[in-house]
Amino acid sequence: MSLEHSLQSLSREAHALNDRTDELNGFIASVEERLRLSGTGLTCWLDATEHHMNQGQWESKKGLGDCSFPLEHFRIVWVLGYTKTDSKWCLAVRRMGAHEEWTQDGDSESCSKRFLEPLGDPTPLLGAPRSVRVEAIAKLKPLVDAMTRKTVGFVHAIEAAKKALPPVDVGSG
């Protein structure tokens, strides 16, 4: 196969990729609009330990070749949510640093500490890398379900708070 043929093939495939990406972006925009129209107005993030996306390989914080314990490893993951960014409610993702610390007891190794920390501000999903947008599609239903549970929880909390309010006479004044 000649270079010219390879370049033409790449151009064709890139065109197909961009068409499919436009379709994907349209779908994301449509879901985002429906969420906005729901009027929920609550920030909600998926559980990062259960629903992370686009995870990288674990990397050692100590450097190559250093296998002394405790070993600290980290990787970057993305988490899907719904929040306000730049004064606009939208589907968003945030980068998280996943950290693990491994210890050794005799011949066995175990993970003694595991935590996630946000890395920077949330990014609108439509502005995230294509690979993250593709993975996010599978996370939309769990996110909407989590938003519903959170909304129901707030309704119940407000009802409970109202019951605790003293009666107010609105007729006198």
Q: What is the pTM of this model?
A: 0.77
3-class SS of residue 165 = coil
Q: Buried b / exposed e across 33-69, counting CB within 10 Å, b at 16+? A: eebeeeebeeebbbebeebbbbeeeeeeeeeeeeeee
What's residue 47's pLDDT? 85
pLDDT at 69: 44
Which residues of the chain fall below pLDDT 50? 63-69
Look at residue 143 in the predicted model and tell me its pLDDT.
97
Angle ∠(61,63,67) on CA atoms, nearest 5: 90
